Structure 1
Amino acid sequence: MLKVQEIREIIKLIDQSSINEFTYETNGTSISLKKDQNGTAAKQPAATAQQQNAVEQIPQQQVPVEQVQTEQEPVKEESGNNADYDYEIVSPMVGTFYTASSPENDPFVSTGSSVQPDTVVCIVEAMKLFNEIEAEVSGEIVEIIAENGQLVEYGQPLFRVKKK
């Protein structure tokens, strides 16, 4: 299945090109993009092969790019109380972000926690392997960016740290 960021990149590329229509299929998932009258790409929601067969009789609607981004990932407004930070702990791999070793356990760290370079701050699961992610710096966690259970990308910021 395509990730939101991959879909956004495809939309940008289609918008910047002279291509008017684009279809991509992989592993039973398909995405179709078609430029509207204004020349901007519109996305047809991705569907599995089973879902596609079930809705073939229904006329397909195109969703403007602005709606796709709003529906898939709500825009988080920056609040004025975000603390200063010197360092971001980023994901070293693509995987699922977990704040604790199991759902019953307390999170490894929370906002305000002091960390050392060898402090485990989270786990990123990739292909059934649970990888402990260490802080790599001494300081205080000022913001937890990723949400528990969220799919994270390589290099995606997970935490913000104020170095000591």
Structure 2
Amino acid sequence: MLKMLELRELIKLIDRSSTQEFTLTNGGVRISMKKPLPKVAEYPREVQTALNEAASAVENADSPFIPAEPAVKDEEKNSSLHTIVSSCLGVFSFSGTEPVKDGDKIRSNSVVGICKVEALKLFQEITSDVNGTIVEVLVQEGQVVDYGEPLFIVKPE
């Protein structure tokens, strides 16, 4: 049987550790400790603040940011092409094990990428809003993208 002092020390050890749940059976006595799950933080205000700070930092940068022109061939530049744009500010990542590439067929509502805000552990899926064929991928894995920035050019079906 544990003495009260030993029990207090055990509680302190478990509390300071990363262990979430602990059970000890000693003789006919069973002691169980479980830490409450961390609360899921609500980030809307913090996300907006982070986005505003990032946008301000970009605007105040010493060197002007000039977005690269899409390398779509002139004969393909017409009103029949559709552009999939970023729905948030963050770091772009291709979804799945096979990233979409030029010539791939995509379906409406299929996930073509993920926009991550690492510091806040937020992940926003980028989905296609049309069926079609990828004409050009405009971003690279790990590239910082802005809200509304073109990511893919698609030839709709």
What is the TM-score with the length of structure 1 in the denominator?
A: 0.50
Q: Which residue number corresponds to residue 65 of structure 1?
A: none
Give the count of matched residue pairs.
Answer: 101
- Superposed CA deviations along residues 141-162 of structure 1, whole A, max 9, x for unmatched, are 1111122111111111111111
Q: 1:139 to 1:76 in 2, by over 3 A?
A: same
2:78 is equivalent to residue 81 of structure 1: no
Q: Give, as a single letter, the amino acid of the residue that structure 2 aligns with 1:161.
A: V
Structure having the larger proportion of residues in strand: 1
Q: 1:163 to 1:76 in 2, by over 3 A?
A: same
Percentage identity across paired residues of the two chains: 33
User: How far does residue 88 in structure 1 lie from its aligned partner after superposition?
Assistant: 0.8
Query: Does the CA contact (< 8 Å) of 2:70 and 2:138 recur in 1?
Result: no
How far apart are the structure 1 equivalents of 2:94 and 2:72? Answer: 25
1:13-162 matches, within 5 Å, as 43=62, 68-69=63-64, 76=68, 81=73, 83-84=76-77, 86-101=81-96, 105-107=97-99, 109-126=100-117, 127-162=120-155
Q: 1:130 to 1:77 in 2, by over 3 A?
A: closer
Larger RCO of the pair (alpha carbons < 8 Å, separation 6+) = 2
Structure having the larger proportion of residues in helix: 2
How far apart are the structure 1 equivalents of 2:132 and 2:59? Answer: 35
What is the TM-score with the length of structure 2 in the denominator?
A: 0.52
- Superposed CA deviations along residues 12-62 of structure 1, whole A, max 9, x for unmatched, are xxxxxxxxxxxxxxxxxxx7xxxxxxxxxxx4xxxxxxxxxxxxxxxxxxx
User: How far does residue 100 in structure 1 lie from its aligned partner after superposition?
Assistant: 3.3
CA RMSD of aligned residues (A): 2.9
Query: Does the CA contact (< 8 Å) of 2:93 and 2:115 recur in 1?
Result: yes
Q: 1:8 to 1:96 in 2, by over 3 A?
A: closer
How far apart are the structure 1 equivalents of 2:146 and 2:110? Answer: 21
Q: 1:138 to 1:124 in 2, by over 3 A?
A: same
User: How far does residue 118 in structure 1 lie from its aligned partner after superposition?
Assistant: 1.8
Q: Runs ≥4 in structure 1, deviation > 2 angstroms?
A: 5-10, 75-85
Structure 2, unaligned runs of 5 or more: 1-49
Structure 1, unaligned runs of 5 or more: 11-30, 32-42, 44-67
